[in-house]
Amino acid sequence: MALESAQPITIRLDGHNYSHWSFLMRSFIKGRGLWKYISGDSKCPGKDDSKYADWEINNNKILTWIANTVTPSINMQLGKFDTAKQA
């Protein structure tokens, strides 16, 4: 299995390039079959649910991708979000 890159795209969101950044991120996340975490179609299961661990891994994977593709000043704002949908 190939390792996932922690920085999926080379463009960094800087406040002026949102349209281009969002297109690339949307394409990347959809290509990984994880857009449902952004759209909200994948709801967080309860902590006792057997699917919780996988949901948590995928949610945090997306949060990491977002954090690694934005400028430091934008990244500092991401700490208040728990889900990829919120971010």
pLDDT tens-digit readout, 16-71:
999 999 999 999 999 999 999 999 999 999 999 999 999 999 999 999 999 999 99
Is residue 18 within 8 Å of 24, Cβ to Cβ? no
Q: How far apart are the first and last CA of the chain?
A: 28
How would you class 72 by CB atoms within 10 Å of its CB: exposed for 0-12, middle for 13-18, buried for 19 or more?
exposed
CB-based contacts of 42, cutoff 8 Å, min separation 6: 36, 55, 58
- This prediction has a pTM of 0.90
